[in-house]
Amino acid sequence: MKLVRKDIEKDNAGQVTLVPEEPEDMWHTYNLVQVGDSLRASTIRKVQTESSTGSVGSNRVRTTLTLCVEAIDFDSQACQLRVKGTNIQENEYVKMGAYHTIELEPNRQFTLAKKQWDSVVLERIEQACDPAWSADVAAVVMQEGLAHICLVTPSMTLTRAKVEVNIPRKRKGNCSQHDRALERFYEQVVQGIQRHINFDVVKCILVASPGFVREQFCDYMFQQAVKTDNKVLLENRSKFLQVKQSYPRVIKNG
């Protein structure tokens, strides 16, 4: 779902302009539109015409109408939403108060106005417009001291976090500084994973690195999860898949 414009006042009245982009967005739209709302969108209207000779005919014209919503019907097979209501704005083809049905479908912009937007509806819009909610694959691309946490959607790869910690070199006979820095790095990556990956949506988390970084990191993460009884990580352990990568790269957003 694409959010084109959002105008919500302090009293929670206002309107949003949206463009459904995926079939699932039509389900979100169905749950957004309620009886009593105002819906504005492009539509087709059959209008009568009279020629100079007095003969009457009819034409189908495209126009933009604003309806006060009275009924909503969702066709999941056709992925189409039919919204019936009365016209509430002046229009050259449709009288005020006349009934009409607007058909909403993917890639057709509409504006929805409500006298009162509640937090649940606004949260649904936020989720529908956030690509992260459709990302069922995540990736942690890392090397020692540097990691990128990404979400992979059907259309793009999103970098949600970058973790960078300076790791001192190991010194002969003294590795304590190196080990402490490495542990701090691993801990920050774990925090990033928990903050940016929705385990209810994501089905697979790829952990990619050169050498043995990914193995050492995963060992650390799950050892700490056992110590702290981190149920989220432990219950989703099977979703983590280690991948060897010689040259870590992160695809730019888009």
State yes or no: pLDDT of 144 exceeds 70: yes
Distance CA 137, CA 155 (A): 12
Strands 157-164 and 146-152: antiparallel
Confidence of residue 254 (pLDDT cuts 50, 70, 90): very low
Would the CA dihedral through 198, 239, 209, 189 be positive or negative? positive
Strand partners, 208: 141, 243
Res 136: pLDDT? 87
State yes or no: pLDDT of 200 exceeds 60: yes
Tell me what the mean pLDDT of segment 44-71 comes to: 86
State yes or no: pLDDT of 3 exceeds 90: yes
Res 245: pLDDT? 82
State yes or no: pLDDT of 4 exceeds 60: yes
Q: What is the pLDDT of residues 83-137, one digit of tens each?
A: 999 999 989 999 999 999 999 999 999 999 999 999 999 988 988 888 777 778 9
Q: What is the pLDDT of residues 58-83, one digit of tens each?
A: 889 999 999 999 999 998 888 899 99
State yes or no: pLDDT of 149 exceeds 60: yes
State yes or no: pLDDT of 157 exceeds 50: yes
Residues 6+ positions from 2 with CB-CB distance below 8 Å: 18, 19, 21, 129
Tell me the pTM: 0.62
Q: What does the buried/exposed string (b/e) look like for 1-17 if buried means 16 or more CB atoms within 10 Å of the residue's CB?
A: beeeeeeeeeeeebbbb
Res 13: pLDDT? 95
Hey, what are 135's tokens?
């990302």
Q: Phi, psi at residue 21, to the nearest 5°?
A: -115, -25
Distance CA 163, CA 181 (A): 13
Terminal-residue alpha carbon distance, the chain: 16
Distance CA 112, CA 110 (A): 7
Res 24: pLDDT? 78
Distance CA 114, CA 29 (A): 14
Would the CA dihedral through 228, 231, 235, 238 be positive or negative? negative
Nearest in space to 87 (alpha carbons), one of 101, 104, 73, 105? 101
